[in-house]
Amino acid sequence: MKLPASTTAAALAEWLGARLVGDGSLTVTGLNEIHHVEAGDLCFVDHPRYYTPTLASAATVILIDREEECPAGKALLVHPEPFALYNRLVWEARPPVPYESPEPGASVGTGTVVAPGVVLGKGVSIGRDCRLEPNCVIGDGCVLGDRVTVSSGCVVGGEAFYFKRTAEGLIPWRSGGSVWLQDDVFLGPCCTIARGVSSVTVIGRGSKLDAQVQIGHDCRIGAHVQMAAQVGVAGNCVIGDWSILQGQAGIAQNVTLGERTVIMAQSGVGRDLEGGKAWFGSPVQEARKAFRDLVKLRRLGE
């Protein structure tokens, strides 16, 4: 997410009460997590597993819980609770706003129908000839292209299911990203599309989602993808163009599916998959092999 106004590493260190290591004049223009970080961003790290990739990332400023050698061209802000400081920054940049219906700051295109009970958050942008059916919610900062249908009961831009595990319990990570539904997207009743933690969750042009589909934070769903009822896609996944996910298929986090992938009903996907093939089972395998294995198993008793 981008900050409303840029700042410097030194100014942030003073404001947050962190110890500055490195170049305090570096400019910070955004906040991001490690999967989507860009130059100018601040991110945080508080686990040894992620020290090396975070320090080597594109981040300009890094909140960190122990002193490390500062890479050239970066600044470190050392503090025992970097997550708490990061979360504080996101809350400051994206404070809660009371809903009105519709929110006065929302932009609604010509020919768009907004049914009774629809809630539009602050800064929402909706294109032409869209249809928002009763009792759907479009959260702050979400963008809908032209000819988008959002059926009744959908929630677009809900907070990410993203928590920090601490001794005191599970602390919610404030989601600073948004959602972009591109042109001609269709959402069936009661779909839920989580906003990005720090970037944008994207549903690609012409994709169609059946009822009760869940898309996690920061996902990139390609163009003309079809998802049948009750599909669940965890955070930070990439689904290639023209893919088909049949009913109740589940995709674990950080998985990439190639173009024209078919995931058959009730399959569980926990790894990247090559496109242009059909897959079945849990754990998933190529469908032809899965069906051959099932035949062999049935014959064992004979």
- C-alpha 119/C-alpha 153 separation (Å) is 11
What is the pLDDT, as a whole number, of residue 227? 98
- Residue 287 burial by CB count (10 A; 0-12/13-18/19+): exposed, middle or buried? middle
∠237-239-245 over CA atoms, to 5°?
Answer: 110
Q: By the 8 A CB rule, do 154 and 131 touch?
A: no
Structural domains of the chain in order of their starting residue, each with its CATH number: 2-93 (3.40.1390.10), 107-291 (2.160.10.10)
> Beta strand pairing status for 238-239 and 256-257?
parallel
pLDDT tens sequence across 178-204: 999 999 999 999 999 999 998 999 999
Write the CA distances from 169 to 40, 161, 172, integer angstroms: 32, 15, 10
pLDDT tens sequence across 46-71: 989 899 999 999 999 999 999 999 99
pLDDT tens sequence across 27-37: 999 999 888 89
What is the pLDDT, as a whole number, of residue 181? 98
Please report which confidence band the pLDDT of residue 103 belongs to, taking 50, 70 and 90 as the band edges: low
- Shortest CA distance to 62 belongs to which of 118, 46, 49, 133? 46
Q: Which of 17-21, 39-43, 131-135, 280-284 has the lowest mean pLDDT?
A: 280-284
Mean pLDDT taken over the chain: 93
- C-alpha 137/C-alpha 300 separation (Å) is 52
Kindly list the catalytic residues.
Answer: 217
Half-sphere exposure of residue 241, counting CA atoms within 13 Å on the CB side?
3
- C-alpha 8/C-alpha 26 separation (Å) is 5
- C-alpha 12/C-alpha 174 separation (Å) is 19
Residue 160 DSSP code: P
pLDDT tens sequence across 218-273: 999 999 999 999 999 999 999 999 999 999 999 999 999 999 999 999 999 999 99
